[in-house]
Amino acid sequence: MNEVFSRKKLALHAFAVLVISVILGVILLCLAYMLPTDKMKANVAAAYDLFMDERVYHDWSNDVEYTRLDGYTDMLMYGTAIYPNEESVLNEALMNRHIDMWYEDGMDVAYWSTDSEGEYRPISYEVYWHGYLIWLKPLLLFMHPRNIRVLNMLLQFVLLAYFLQLFTKRFQGKYYMPLLAGILVINPVSTAMCLQFSSVFYIAIISMILMLRYPHIVKRRHGFSLFFLVSGICVAYFDFLTYPPIALCLPLMLYLIMRNEDSSTDYDQNTVLSVFRAGIYWSVGYIFMWGSKWFLPLIVGDNRLDYVLYELGYRSGMDDVTFWQVLTEKIKVLAIKPLLVFFGIYAVQLIVRLVIAGLKKKIVIPDYMYLLSVALVMIIPIAWYFVVREHSLHTFAYRELAGSIMAAMLFAESFLPVAQSAEK
Amino acid sequence: MTRNIIKSLCCVVILTLVNFILLVGTFFLPIDEMRENVARSSELFNFEGVYPHWDTGYKSTKLDGWTEGAVYGMAIYQEGGSPLENAILMHYIDAEGVQMPWSMTNYANHADKKYSFPVYGRYWYGSVGIIKVLLLFFDVSDIRMLNCILQMTLMLLILIKMIKTGMDDRIVPFIVAIMIIDPISMVMCLTYSSDYIPMLLAILAILYFYDYVDKLGWMVFFAVLGAVMAFFSMLSFPLIALGIPLLFKIWCDGIYGKSEKNELLDTVICSGAWGISYGIAWGMKWIIGTLFTDFDFIGNALGQADSYYGEVEVTVLERLFKNVRVIVKWPYLLMFIAAIIIIVVMSHRDKNNTTDAGCETKVRNAGRTNDVKTLLAYFIIMFLPFAMMIALGDGYANTHYWMAYKQLSITAGAGLCIISDFIVRWKIHNLNEGVKGIIPELVNK
């Protein structure tokens, strides 16, 4: 029997999840920081050539921003992982120090790991959780970054294949064009080659796998809300503010199409409200989890709240960067001939199919609530650009548009009769 | 049989001639725009150099920048000669004192150098024709992106069809094979794509047009595939376009209930047809070249054969180990362990679910593995890469082990199928009587 929804119970559970996440987050980081770093440092040093070959912002297809990797942050991640534990474990886990040199080339970690001469200084980067350390540190005990990159590729492609398996079984080959477009925009080659881009990819894909595997989790408001709360928490814990809305938009779109295809009465909320609910709970999880990290260093006597406030103001860039500037910059990244060809071909076939359906009077009038919900998802990345303007100027933030593009394609395809009947 | 042999021969000869005519046709296209597009991408070649890695120092991620440079050089060669001659001789660019690919980028940029244009005519270089057309509209970075989009699309279509057909338990061997081939290298290196894309297309053809191909005859299909490979491949790892499609053929035979088929015989015939048509199509290049030009193709081929078999640096066993060692790394080992665990779990999961299509498939496939001939077919497929590594001498699998190893994907795929089917057989022995009762019915369905 379905339980009756209780706001009070949900609020209580959400609060408990948040508190437990913070405690668990700290414990896991402390455990990771207990590991010896000598072997990790030696393993990072073994990848010196890799770092020096690619430098900080390597394009895997020259001068195409769409293929740009963030080697700077990858090195920062490795640098944080191998920083020797000089203070107490708790202090290190909360302060997240890495080594910085006075050079401008951003190759500090490569130099330091190989004990090159230079003036080193520890820098703490406590504004983020650095949750990736819970897997990166153990991996570095056994393998060097070159192995980790290949492992990352294998894992991502295997997860993607598993997701496709579940997705195809569920929808019988429908919606594959929006899905393909989303995958292409996120660019799995880059996410496989760059650790910094991997966190959101993993969270989004694992969330969707869970949704397809255990759909009952999100059928009721209670589970649905907690699901997105945990997703937001995970993004704040593992990610460096890369393209977080994707971890919200992709699972949310999957929920909407699952809901649209499922005529069961198990669902206890309307789709439009579900978009708002997911957005709110995801944001609460994200902001609370991230915000908690700004206060946690107080435990070890570090007060950087002024710096955090400065960063927040700077990252939003409300005064210096216009919204249109951000949006046009992001669209420009995707305005490359191959993608234009892809989307051009898609648009032409879509228009032809719509016209044929119109002539045959077979245009489907979808549920307006579904349409409105998809349209709302389309807006999420745009709204993100509006709020987080300065940070969105980073090249990699273009990936958030995958959410808008996929939603736009779902919106358009919902009028097609073919989209409604599974290709058997 | 005789009819099929004649049909295969006709197909191979006609297809190769048509391909040749199309290739010559692309040499009529204006080259200025192509050269400009390559010049615009000079930085890409200059940065990556001769043999770049997408993961520095990791052999499985090594790309063939030399051949890439040579191929783009052939596409923009602009030193006179008739289109027919140029399409046959395939001149690449060599600037004095400058290595490939910098020779080619210097030429593209009209740099003042002393150039020579050696003939590289022993392969067909069918991909040059496609590159020429693309270079009219796109630069090299664009072509790389297009390659990425195409490969992702093909992979998605394959996976969708596999799942819809009920090949769930074959996804693991397939994905492991693809991971060994390395999809990122495939995106970043056109030389590799010349082997990889025909393989994906062949798989799609088997999956989407199984009935048609079955009617046409598998010998004809694989003969055509061999001819296509001879036309496009630069002998990087063409065998993937035989081994992996052969696996799909066996899987589809299982799925579509063709239990009367003798997979062992089919595998031998298809492999033979593929190999012979590869040889015929390749040989046609030398015959056509000898007929239409003064270049000594036979002498060139013999010289190249000498470099492959002449100086032997390592023993056969060392050569094989050198290839295997490329994937004896932590990530791949973890992947193999995970694959076997997944196969065991998947076999266990559906053991009592007799209505599930996936279980039916497993039972059917397992039934087929009970057939010793199918098992032997898997074993033959598994050892195909080793046969090629042994047959082609030191110049192939020793010098170019970092690309030749990719053919081990076939070994891994076939090996996992054998393991998977054995586990299912073993499971069936432990099934309850009700399920056991329907097995013959399923196998013969």
Q: What does A102-139 look like in DSSP terms, one character per residue?
A: S-SSS-HHHHHHTT-SS-EEEEE-TTS--TTHHHHHHH
Residue A422: the pLDDT is: 43
- Judged by a CB distance cut-off of 8 A, whether residue B405 touches chain A is no
Which span out of A261-275, B202-216, B255-269, B299-313 was modeled with the highest average pLDDT? Answer: B202-216
Q: Which helix (H) or strand (E) holds A123?
A: strand A120-124
Structure tokens at A401: 């548009």
**Which residue from A150, A179, A189 is facing B55, i.e. has the nearest CB?**
A150
- Distance between CA atoms of B84 and B25, rounded to whole angstroms? 8
**Is the ipTM of this structure higher than 0.85?**
yes
Structure tokens that stand for A386 in this block: 């509006």
pLDDT of residue A224: 95
Separation CA B425–CA A421 (nearest Å)? 37
Tokens (6 digits) for B218: 């598998």
Distance from CA of B163 to the nearest CA of A (A): 6
Of A64, A168, A339, the CB nearest to B160: A168
| DSSP code for A3 | P
The arithmetic mean of pLDDT across residues B227-234, rounded, is 95
Are B152 and A47 within 8 A, CB to CB? no
User: What's the CA gap between A303 and A309, in Å, rounded?
Assistant: 12
Quote the tokens at residue B67. 């051949």
Average pLDDT of chain B, as a whole number: 89
Round the average pLDDT of chain A to a whole number and report it. 90
Q: What are phi and psi of B244, to 5 degrees?
A: -70, -45
- Band (pLDDT 50/70/90 cuts) for residue A423 is very low
| Paired strand residues for B95 | B115
Q: Which residue has the higher pLDDT, B373 or A26?
A: A26
CA distance A221 to A136: 35
Q: Is the pLDDT of residue A413 over 80?
A: yes
In percent, the amount of chain A with pLDDT more than 90 equals 67
Q: Is B287 on the interface with A (CB under 8 A)?
A: no
Is B156 in the A-facing interface, judged by CB distances under 8 Å? yes
Interface of B with A in 288-327 (CB under 8 A): none
Element (H, E) at B192: helix B190-208
Q: What band does B254 get if pLDDT is binned at 50, 70 and 90?
A: confident
pLDDT score of B368 more than 80: no
Residue type present at position A5: F
% of chain B residues with pLDDT over 70: 90
Give A186's contacts in chain B (Cβ within 8 Å). Answer: none
Report residue A100's pLDDT band, with 50, 70 and 90 as the boundaries: confident
Q: What is the mean pLDDT of residues B415-444?
A: 68
- Interchain contact, A67 vs B145, CB within 8 Å: yes
How high is the pLDDT of residue B260? 73
Instruction: Find, in chain B, the residue whose alpha carbon is nearest to that of A52.
Output: B56
Please write the tens of the pLDDT for every residue from A104-154.
677 888 888 888 887 888 888 888 999 999 999 999 999 999 999 999 999
Burial code of B187-213, b = ≥16 C-beta within 10 A, e = fewer?
bbbbbbbbbbbbbbbbbbbbbeebeeb
Q: Please tell me which of the candidates B56, B57, B141 has its beta carbon nearest to residue A63.
A: B141
Number of Cβ pairs < 8 A linking chain A and chain B: 127
Alpha carbon distances (Å) from B274 to A28, A192, B184, B198: 55, 35, 27, 13
Band (pLDDT 50/70/90 cuts) for residue B435 is low
Hey, is the C-beta of B142 within 8 angstroms of any chain A C-beta? Answer: yes
CA–CA gap between residue A39 and residue A141 (Å, rounded): 6
**Using 50, 70 and 90 to split pLDDT, how confident is the model at A421?**
very low
> Between chains, do A63 and B43 touch, taking CB under 8 Å as contact?
yes
| pLDDT tens track for A282-311 | 999 999 999 999 999 999 888 878 888 887
pLDDT tens by residue, B90-137: 999 999 989 889 999 999 999 999 999 999 988 999 999 999 999 999
- The position carrying tokens 């006597």 is A301
Four-CA torsion B197, B199, B201, B202, nearest 10 degrees: 160
User: Which of B183-187, B234-238, B423-427 shows the lowest mean pLDDT across its residues?
Assistant: B423-427
What φ, ψ does residue B355 adopt, rounded to 5°?
Answer: -90, -20
Least confident of A370-384, B338-352, B386-400: B338-352
Residue with tokens 């078999």: B309
Q: pLDDT at residue A53 above 50?
A: yes
Of B167, B329, B318, B183, give the one whose Cα is nearest residue B250. B167
- A147 to chain B, any CB pair closer than 8 A? The answer is yes
Cβ-nearest to B163 among A53, A158, A168: A168
Test mutation, B33, B163, B169, B350, chain A, max A CBs within 10 A: B163
Q: Does residue A317 carry a pLDDT above 70? A: no
**pLDDT at position A319 over 80:** no
Interface test with A, best of B72, B105, B133, B148 (most A CBs within 10 A): B148
What band does B361 get if pLDDT is binned at 50, 70 and 90?
A: low
Q: How distant is the Cα of A245 from the closest Cα of chain B, in angstroms? A: 23
Under 8 Å CB-to-CB from A220, ≥6 apart: which residues? A2, A3, A5, A266, A267, A268
